[in-house]
Structure 1
Amino acid sequence: MGSKQRTYTPEFREGAVRIVIETGRPIPEVAEELGVRSGTLHSWVSRWRRCPVRRPLVQATAVPLPRGCESGAAYEERASRGDQEK
């Protein structure tokens, strides 16, 4: 059996992270409700918490990113190549 890799829009990821952050609901509960693997949602939430300058996730910012954070464009490019998360 082959596996299908789903692609999520930045807006969907932001919405999922917002649900977890703003409501305080457990990641596994939100992930199940949205049809996303809990590990996937956990990585989105972790990335959001590590890089506070990127808040909100979709909106561009003129503030330089802290060391270790990557721009949305760089993340999307790396993700499209299938590179592993840093």
Structure 2
Amino acid sequence: MAEQRQRYNEEFKKQAVKYVQEQTKTLPEIAEEMNIPSGTLKNWMTKYRSFEHEPVASANP
């Protein structure tokens, strides 16, 4: 029997991407924490990512 696919609404996806951007954890760690396949979360990052919540990288290492 086929496994039932989980459906997520647009707001959930956007909030998940925002959460990823605010964390210092790796994408696979967050995907596991949220019980979402990391590939799915990566696709959402590509589609919904905005840079307003990410820290600006310093030019000095």
Normalised to the residue count of structure 1, the TM-score between the two structures is 0.50
Tell me if 1:46 matches 2:29: no
Runs of 4+ aligned residues of structure 1 deviating over 4 Å after TM superposition are none
In structure 1, the residue matched to 2:6 is 6
In structure 1, the residue matched to 2:55 is none
Q: How many pairs align?
A: 51
Shift of 1:23: 1.9
Asked if the contact 1:31–1:38 (Cα under 8 Å) also holds between the matched residues in 2, the reply is: yes
Shift of 1:29: 0.8
- AA matched with 1:13: K
Shift of 1:2: 0.8
Tell me how far apart the structure 1 counterparts of residues 19 and 25 of structure 2 sit (CA, whole Å): 7
CA root-mean-square deviation: 1.8
1:34-61 residue CA offsets vs partner (Å, 9 max, x unmatched): 1111110010001224xx5xx8xxxxxx
Tell me how far apart the structure 2 counterparts of residues 43 and 7 of structure 1 sit (CA, whole Å): 14
In structure 2, the residue matched to 1:21 is 21
Shift of 1:24: 3.7
Asked if the contact 2:14–2:48 (Cα under 8 Å) also holds between the matched residues in 1, the reply is: no
Q: Which runs of 5+ in 1 are unaligned?
A: 56-86
Percent identity between matched residues is: 37
Cα distance change on mapping 1:24 and 1:48 into 2, 3 Å? farther
